[in-house]
Structure 1
Amino acid sequence: MESIAKLIGYNHIFSSVYHPQSNEMIERFNATFVPQIAKLQDLENNNWDEFLSPVVFAYNTSIHATTNYSPFQLKFGREPRLPTDKPSSSFTFNKPNDYYVQLKKNLLIIQQHTSDNIIHRQRQYKINYDKQHPDPHYEINDPVLIKIHGIKKKLEQKYSIIPKIILRKQHPIDWVKDEKTQVESRVHVNDIRSILILKSI
């Protein structure tokens, strides 16, 4: 993969496990898409593939809260025409190229509005997120505990018992090493807790 990245010229960014914000766009789509499929499939859960097309169509023709446009309109520069809609209005163009010129103008206007809407909504999301989530920073060689994912029982340990050591930092991702097994892993700062060390006088 490193060779392909150098050949094509893209930057391969690794996401941290159990942290859906790393792939926010994909996870946001899945959070909308998967529940719809789950509602439509039968009791045997074996016909979900029959509903892929209608669910994708509903997704592409619905207005998204962040952009204030539907994916269909962002791509084609016009509102989608559904079977229940009235016949579309007719337009007269003097030259064959007039349609292309008008479509290009529409797309530029939509793209600008979409960009403004996304920036505004992202700022709101960040303000709300920062109010509820601290932004911790750890130093090299700090002993820390790592959150254990997949816990099913309420009384089970939520964080590792054996401390791990911070090796490298690339905020918000830290590389840690297990002192016992010497295994290194990549962890998001939200899954790290510092250890309070009491020193006797």
Structure 2
Amino acid sequence: MAVSRLLQAMTVSTTLTLALTACGSGDSAKPTDAGKRPVPSSDAPSSEATATPSGKASAAPGGPLQVRRVLEATGIPAATEAASPLPTDCDDQPAGQPKANAAAIACDDAGVVYRLAPAEVVGGVTSAKAERPQGLTDWVVSLELDPAATPKFAALTQDVTGTDKLIAFVLDGEVISALTVQTPIDDGKLQIGGTFTEKQAQAFAAQLGS
């Protein structure tokens, strides 16, 4: 499957870089500045070359995938004053997915802490599979969303396109990816990738499809 309309991925964690692309039949798009950590520094390293995604999968998923806006995170100040300070870790957070209709605190596997808005997309994944697109060396996870989730995801990506606002994919209470959006995705077909090995991509796909 060819990859087109690359969305530049900007992860908060330098140990996790996930590029988000729309699935299509056009020419393959090449990453440009994907994967720079959004911290107040002009010399943030390029994680496309150095970062390693966890591909982490839980043995007991705590609910369907949630897609949320990032309100603030470690190294990223809140746009407005928060009611409480951002915790230093997620040790006190309950296991499993947070309540979808409420703001939440979650971490990624590198310990970066995020304050997240209520989920705008919950579940709706009709298929998730690991594959290696022609011409690429790394594996990706291809997702398809159902008719209910597709317009919600399209509206979210349209709203944040071209801004520095991050959206986060949350699974089993963990931020799997936090990224900026450069191109809206309106057909519910997308790929999440970075430097996945086959095993990591398969584990991630299995968790998403559960």
Fold shared, TM-score > 0.5 on shorter chain = no
More strand by share: 2
Determine which structure has more spread, i.e. the larger CA radius of gyration: 1
